[in-house]
Chains A and B, each alone.
Chain A
Amino acid sequence: MEHRPSPTHLQRHGHLALPVALVSVATVLSLAFLGPSGFVAGLWAGTADFASLAPRIMAAVILAAVMQAWLPREGLGKWFGEGRGVRGLAIASAAGAVTVGGPFASFPLVAALAAAGVEAGLLIAFLTGWSLIGIQRIIIWEWPLMGSDFVVLRLASCITLPVLAGLLMRRLSRR
């Protein structure tokens, strides 16, 4: 039987197009500048590096999955009725940080909230919380690859910024 990639097949593996291209470019550059021995050394280094990360990745994926299974899928909208103060911005930021999934998940939600009349400062706080301190990306990418010291320093540096972005947005909107 002839094998033809179905749309679902493409959807499942489409996200790998960019990393495959990146590795292809890296392979060509490595072979061109370092030769076959340099390329093989890089291949081994990458594999060893990945193997050493495997336990962290497993723990990260399990933790993220259980978190995702417990978090409410809908109903984030009710978190946005919390008034106009800094408290409302902090809650919106936290809601953004725990929202899992890529822009496919977050932007339709933000568009719906905007249509429902939710104020721009809260929307910015939510979006910035999601993009800057999204827990899922921290657990699955940042912690395994960068280590905990880096994660702690970055969180400490960024944790207040979504609220600040919301405040700035309110300033901009008032004009």
Chain B
Amino acid sequence: MLVDYLMGAAACAAVGVTAIRDRARLRHALQIAVSTLGRTIPALFLAVLAAQLLTPLIPNKVIGGWIGPESGMGGVLIASAFGAIIPGGPVVSFPIVLIFQAGGAGSPQLIALLSAWSVVAIHRLAAFEVPLMGVHFALRRLAASLVLPPLSGLIALLLS
């Protein structure tokens, strides 16, 4: 809750400072904000809607059992493996995370899932990384990154 107010205050301060220092930049920022709103509002709404429609269909016991707060490091590993095969951007991953959260998943497990989705990102690998950087680079990056999702879950387990 405190962070919510801080973020609101930060947004107001950012607009205020920009208005005083650089009017042209403020206009630019407002243009970015409007176009971002146009792109983001429908995507966020659909993501939340999909999550709310699917949540009652997912049996809580299944999710809680596999990746619940009690599942520990085993749950972190399962969540990492699942996150690695989620294709697409945040409009796909966040509804899944919301559904899992409502179904009783633990935060460290969800963190591992999001980490795996972020660093492995099979859609990005196929569409951008291999064509632009080459197979060799992509494989080496994967090798250097595979340990990160379980590690992020482990650190979250230790912190929480």
Given contacts A128-B148, A152-B3, A65 and B33 within 8 Å (CB-CB): yes
Contact residues in A for B79 (Cβ distance below 8 Å): none
Contact residues in A for B141 (Cβ distance below 8 Å): 124, 127, 165, 169
What is the 8 Å Cβ interface bit string for chain A, positions 31-65, against chain B (1 contact, 0 not)? 00110001101110111011001011111111111
Q: Which of A26, A41, A132 contacts B148 (CB 8 A)?
A: A132
Contact residues in A for B20 (Cβ distance below 8 Å): none
Contact residues in B for A139 (Cβ distance below 8 Å): 7
Complex CA gap A141/B101 in Å reads 15
Most chain A CB within 10 A, of B28, B46, B98, B137, is at B46
Contact residues in B for A83 (Cβ distance below 8 Å): none
Given contacts A19-B47, A69-B28, A158-B111, A110 and B40 within 8 Å (CB-CB): no
Give the dominant DSSP class at B's interface: helix
Complex CA gap A131/B117 in Å reads 9
Quick check: A30 and B57 within 8 Å, CB to CB? yes
Q: Which of A12, A18, A102, A108 contacts B132 (CB 8 A)?
A: A108
Contact residues in B for A148 (Cβ distance below 8 Å): 1-4, 7
Quick check: A144 and B57 within 8 Å, CB to CB? no
Complex CA gap A34/B58 in Å reads 12
Complex CA gap A19/B159 in Å reads 33
Count the B residues whose beta carbon is within 8 Å of the partner chain — how many?
79
- Which chain A residues (129-175) contact chain B, with CB distance < 8 Å? 131-132, 137, 139-146, 148, 150-154, 156-158, 161, 164-166, 168-169, 172-173
Contact residues in B for A26 (Cβ distance below 8 Å): 49-50, 53-54
Quick check: A61 and B145 within 8 Å, CB to CB? no
Q: Which of A70, A141, A151 contacts B90 (CB 8 A)?
A: A141
Given contacts A22-B92, A42-B53, A62 and B111 within 8 Å (CB-CB): no
A89 to chain B, nearest CB (A): 12
Give the dominant DSSP class at A's interface: helix
- Could you give 12 example pairs across A and B, Cβ below 8 Å? A19-B46, A22-B91, A43-B49, A46-B45, A59-B11, A61-B36, A107-B133, A120-B137, A132-B148, A146-B101, A150-B110, A169-B141
Partner-B contacts on A (CB < 8 A): 12, 15-16, 18-20, 22-23, 26-27, 29-30, 33-34, 38-39, 41-43, 45-47, 49-50, 53, 55-70, 102-103, 107-108, 110-111, 114, 120, 123-124, 127-128, 131-132, 137, 139-146, 148, 150-154, 156-158, 161, 164-166, 168-169, 172-173
